[in-house]
Amino acid sequence: MSEAPAVEHPAPGGLPALSLVPKADAKQSMKDFKSDQEVRWCPGCGDYAILAAVQSFMPELGLARENVVFVSGIGCSSRFPYYMNTYGMHSIHGRAPAIATGLAASRRDLSVWVVTGDGDALSIGGNHLIHALRRNVNLKILLFNNRIYGLTKGQYSPTSEVGKITKSTPMGSLDAPFNPVSLAIGAEASFVARTIDSDRKHLTAVLREAAAHSGTALVEIYQNCNIFNDGAFDALKDQATAEEALIRLEHGRPIRFGAGAAKGVVRDQATGDLKVIDVTPANEHEVLVHDAHAASPTTAFALSRLADPDTLHHTPIGVLRSVERPVYDTQMSDQLEAAVEQHGKGDLAALLTGSDTWTVVG
Amino acid sequence: MTSQVSSPATEHRVLGEQRKPAKETRQLDRVIIRFAGDSGDGMQLTGDRFTSETASFGNDLSTLPNFPAEIRAPAGTLPGVSSFQLHFADHDILTPGDAPDVLVAMNPAALKANTGDLPRGAEIIVNTDEFTKRAMAKVGYAVSPLEDGSLDAYAVHPVPLTTLTVEALKEFELSRKEAERSKNMFALGLLSWLYHRPTEGTEAFLRKKFAKKPQLAEANVAAFRAGWNFGETTEDFAVSYEVAPASHAFPTGLYRNISGNLALSYGLVAASKQADLPLFLGSYPITPASDILHELSKHKNFGVRTFQAEDEIAGIGAALGAAFGGALAVTTTSGPGVALKSETIGLAVSLELPLLVIDIQRGGPSTGLPTKTEQADLLQAMYGRNGEAPVPIVAPSTPADCFDAALEAARIALAYRTPVFLLSDGYLANGSEPWRIPEIDDLPDLRVQFATAPNHEGPSGEREFWPYLRDPETLARPWAVPGTPGLEHRIGGIEKQDGTGNISYDPANHDFMVRTRQAKIDGITVPDLAVDDPSGEARTLVIGWGSTYGPITAAVRRIRGAGGAVAQAHLRHLNPFPRNLGDVLGRYEKVVVPEMNLGQLAHLLRAKYLVDARSYTQVTGLPFKAEQLADAISPDLIVGAIQEESADV
């Protein structure tokens, strides 16, 4: 049941997305990516597991550590850069995608990662997130979704279920939540994936694919806040329920899940939508084969809608969408080069002089 | 010194030869012309062309474009009037002029909106074709002002501009509507004849502008020439005028005409070159700053990256990200955009990274007057952030000075690792004047040294990098850009421990860091304030900042011309102030501070220097007029005699 997605391990540092990033001279270990700062999340926080997964995954990329940058906003998850022994910026609420865009667009020799949360990315920073995704800047965005505001001590977030009782919503929250994966697909994202803090293997596999992707990659990571929203993802973690609740997507494989892979996702011929069926020898051929590289986002979007926002049943995880699209920073550089080809390298004296001048002589 | 003005570059000379009017010619030392029409009539283009002709002729000049925020305001209405005022002279001038000598009114609305500014005897060239009952009724003329004697104080030249233009273009296969559109070029031709402007530049311009529609190019050239010929042949204009080149007004050198926003854009490109850092502009379109985004977008072959962001916050955010990566980072905006960027400016203060925040001020509050000028963002730039977040402020004084101001702002940002405000305004942005093109060798060296190695020894002798270990002289912290091995570090908006830059909530450390950041800005080296007091007897000092330089200087000349003594000083650095400012203020009995706000600089001067600065303010969306300022600065010195002077405004 918990087999990893079928991903070939890329040669260290040989990913197309990272071709301009210098490689490390020597073999790295997890220790190389740990900073000297004391980690200050609450004991038991899901962030620890994600940090450990990222720190142990980074050596696999074999990048020069000094060419890796983590940029974050505000919130519990946004403390992340302090704990990575790379370059890092802990910025302001919601703005990390904008700041990282400027950095990535002007420095193509860097591997730029954004760490954000559901409040940071989807509430105060929603605008920057969708625009980063549509631009397809070479950024890897890790969105830690715990469905609650942690650092401000427990208000409902834009991913909280309707009716959530919190300090700011004693009679239950009224607003419908975002599904981050649906939102990202709607925002023209070229890479969208979802994973879970406690599934180290799956998380690492998704990170690996995200790192290999050219352009913006959005990785939603379900993350447990054991203080203000404990157990939010238990339906996906408890052995007893997970099997029926989780749909593990693997590119090129039929979308089946449940005990004995008894359930499958098929297209409803009447509506064109997707639905879950009990698989039988008679209908087995109808089960959808997952195609993360499909040019149209329609099926990926439909997959993202299978999940029930309240019970989390039929939650797809893995890479929902991974397509090639022109990358903003590459194109920006190309324009600079084309301008030099067309007009020659800028000549300041000629620029200042222009074409309409007169001379005053002594 | 004998100086002379040579001809403009001969490149365009082949196209249409210089023509000389045959009628009687009179000499004038200066003229103020205002072109006024509907916002769709092309008055800004007409004004720009006349300005270019005038610049290439070698006059000194100063311009004031004035237009509504609507792209096409309702036709024929008073709010839809767009105008362009140009002052040109055979000597050096400082402002676009108080009152027009000549008004070109393309319709009743343009006439009505502008006659109030005309002195007795002014000439009015009016397009009679547009004076229909309906058009006049729209602006409240019951009877035609051309016939009821209400314009008797002026010399009115009624010209059926539309009819004449259509007639001149009948050979072209154009609809009447298309032909009518060239009436601004007819008017330009007429005015070019009237003031002996060179014509070949405009003809070349039209052919280039309409290169893809040669028919339209030739039609516009034909309308332009028809206007010129009309002046030559009609009996209504008996005389034409010459304003000699301003031979003695300028130091020797190569000159061009330049607007504030263009000068600012060039200043940024030059700063990037002088700093040897790539330029990165993160910006969101906003009037009147967008032209800088447009201009810089053209210069990608200088390695300039322009990023049109999704909003103001992302514009500055991306710029700050690029600054972290080692770029010369800039964001351009106007007041409302500054409000949105404030939190990120605070972050830049905390991160201590170089960043230029360029505010082309406009009328406020809120959306205010997007296309009009004001200086009311000074206190916003000074204080508009949470916490103690000092930011240096530089303000250019004239359109051409925007070039030098950009270099100066970059110098401070780079040397002190700080965001810097550059406060221009709508008047400087759109106004233009002759600019002596600098020699590249004379530009300041802005190169910086990135950190390349650890700068501190740890407890057991190991080399470490401390991102907040400061230069003892400038208090600037090291700029260590990603990609530099061994200097990996994390910075953020949370208070940092002095030296290490690690998160610190220690009370004493916070107190120290707040004071240190302030001390760094207070310690920025800026030139002493120069005072102009030729007689040495002045007891009144007039002090201003930014775009009021022209009107204040013109007012000071008037006062001195009338025998008064007044000292003048103009602030380029508003934070920190020049070291000698307190001494300067203390030397005068009376300090007058004219500003296009409700007294923001006066407030700062009073607070810091306990000086009884007297504020003189105007917030009309327009620059001061010299006469009015002279009166305000020194009422006792303004005597009737001054009116007789050929006041050099």
pLDDT tens figures, B508-532: 999 999 999 999 999 999 999 999 9
Chain A contact for B282 (CB, 8 A cutoff): yes
Contacts of B2 in chain A (CB under 8 A): 362
Mutation site for A-interface testing, chosen from B199, B324, B441, B443 by largest number of A Cβ within 10 Å: B324
CA distance A30 to chain B (A): 16
Provide the pLDDT for residue A13: 41
- A108-160: pLDDT as tens digits: 999 999 999 999 999 999 999 999 999 999 999 999 999 999 999 999 999 99
Chain A contact for B206 (CB, 8 A cutoff): no
CA distance B284 to chain A (A): 13
Contacts of A98 in chain B (CB under 8 A): 309-310, 313-314, 317-318, 321
* A37 with B502: Cβ contact below 8 A: yes
Contacts of B72 (CB under 8 A, 6+ apart): B39, B40, B80
Tell whether the model's pLDDT for residue A362 goes beyond 90: no
Q: Closest residue of B to A37, CA-based? A: B502
Q: Which residues of A106-119 are buried (b: 16+ CB within 10 A; e: fewer)?
A: bbbebbbbbbbbbb
Provide the pLDDT for residue B634: 81
Q: Nearest to residue B292, comparing CAs of B249, B335, B261?
A: B261
Provide the pLDDT for residue B73: 81
Contacts of A129 in chain B (CB under 8 A): none
* A99 with B324: Cβ contact below 8 A: yes
- The whole-angstrom separation of Cα A145 and Cα A309 is 13
Chain A contact for B252 (CB, 8 A cutoff): yes
Chain A contact for B280 (CB, 8 A cutoff): yes
CA distance A132 to chain B (A): 9
> What would the mean pLDDT of B277-296 be, rounded to a whole number?
98
The whole-chain average pLDDT of chain B stands at 93
The whole-chain average pLDDT of chain A stands at 94
Provide the pLDDT for residue A7: 41
Tell whether the model's pLDDT for residue B205 goes beyond 70: yes
CA distance B74 to chain A (A): 35
Confidence of residue A15 (pLDDT cuts 50, 70, 90): low
The total number of residues written for chain A in this structure: 362
Provide the pLDDT for residue B12: 34
Tell whether the model's pLDDT for residue B646 goes beyond 70: no
Distances in whole angstroms, Cα of residue B263 to Cα of each of A245, A352, B267, B342, B400: 63, 9, 6, 26, 6
Q: For residue A346, give the nearest of B4, B302, B321 by CB distance.
A: B302
CA distance B406 to chain A (A): 14
Three-class secondary structure of residue B635 per DSSP:
helix
CA distance B481 to chain A (A): 8
Q: For residue A67, give the nearest of B300, B344, B483 by CB distance.
A: B483
Contacts of B502 in chain A (CB under 8 A): 37
Provide the pLDDT for residue B8: 39
Q: Closest residue of B to A133, CA-based? A: B310
Provide the pLDDT for residue B250: 85
* B317 with A99: Cβ contact below 8 A: yes
Q: Sheet harboring B590-595: ordered strands across?
A: B567-571, B540-545, B590-595, B614-617
* B282 with A102: Cβ contact below 8 A: yes
Beta bridge partners of A267: A274
- The whole-angstrom separation of Cα A50 and Cα B232 is 83
CA distance B299 to chain A (A): 7
Q: A87-96, B246-255, B429-438: lowest mean pLDDT where?
A: B246-255
User: Where does B175-244 show beta strands of DSSP type E?
Assistant: 239-243
- The whole-angstrom separation of Cα B190 and Cα B240 is 10
Contacts of A34 in chain B (CB under 8 A): none
Residue A67: DSSP 8-state: G
Q: A298-302, B46-50, B146-150, B248-252: lowest mean pLDDT where?
A: B248-252
> What would the mean pLDDT of B406-415 be, rounded to a whole number?
98
Contacts of B309 in chain A (CB under 8 A): 98, 131
Q: For residue A87, give the nearest of B329, B436, B488 by CB distance.
A: B488
Q: What number of C-beta contacts closer than 8 Å exist between A and B?
A: 228
